Amino acid sequence: MSSASTGRRLHFPVRRSSSVRTMGGAEQAYAMLRTLYVVAPLLFGLDKFFNVLTYWPTYLAPVATQIVPLSPQGFMYIVGAVEIAAGLLVAFKPRWGSVVVALWLAGIIVNLLVLGHFYDVALRDFGLLVGALALNRLTARRA
């Protein structure tokens, strides 16, 4: 006999644990996105100083160094510092950090479109921007 036909409500105990197996889908998505948007900006930001993954000034539109009179590598040092700060902001204040990361990614996309190359990277960064906005919505839901 179902609970609907007897008028009784079924009660299932909820375990409060941080185990991934007991987390709901939204909590798992939040944890994955928050981890991504802490780790990726930190690693990419650090690499702007060392150019191990790639030579980052290649991805900079010349107009950027016309607006801010620095060498392309000097500009990348600033970019790296901002990315590190954004990753730390997501770690400690994910609601605000996710917006900062989304805006930062929008700036990267505009830079790549102005550069006229690397459209594949711009499309990838658009996907990351959407993920940052999803993290923001999940963070707002948790509050």
Rounded Cα–Cα distance for residues 24 and 32 (Å): 12
Q: For 117-141, what is the mean pLDDT?
A: 96
Residue 102 lies in a domain: yes
- Our count of domains for the chain comes to 1
Distances (CA, A) of 106 to 25, 123, 133: 28, 11, 11
Residue 69 lies in a domain: yes
- pLDDT tens figures, 9-21: 645 454 555 565 6
Containing domain of residue 31, as a range?
25-142
Residue 79 lies in a domain: yes
Nearest alpha carbon to residue 95 among 24, 28, 42, 37: 37
Nearest alpha carbon to residue 59 among 39, 76, 43, 45: 76
Task: Return the pLDDT at 12.
Answer: 42
* pLDDT exceeds 50 at position 86: yes
Provide the residue type at 128 as one letter. L
Confidence class for position 4, pLDDT limits 50, 70, 90: low
Nearest alpha carbon to residue 49 among 69, 74, 67, 86: 74
3-state secondary structure of 13: coil
| 4-8, 85-89, 126-130: the lowest-pLDDT one | 4-8
Residue 7 lies in a domain: no
Rounded Cα–Cα distance for residues 25 and 21 (Å): 10
Residue 9 lies in a domain: no
Residue 4 lies in a domain: no
| N residues, the chain | 143
Residue 3 lies in a domain: no
Residue 17 lies in a domain: no
Residue 98 and residue 136 in contact, taking contact as beta carbons nearer than 8 Å: yes
* pLDDT exceeds 50 at position 118: yes
- pLDDT tens figures, 87-112: 999 999 999 999 999 999 999 999 99
Task: Return the pLDDT at 45.
Answer: 98
- pLDDT tens figures, 31-77: 999 999 999 999 999 999 999 999 999 999 999 999 999 999 999 99
Rounded Cα–Cα distance for residues 40 and 69 (Å): 28
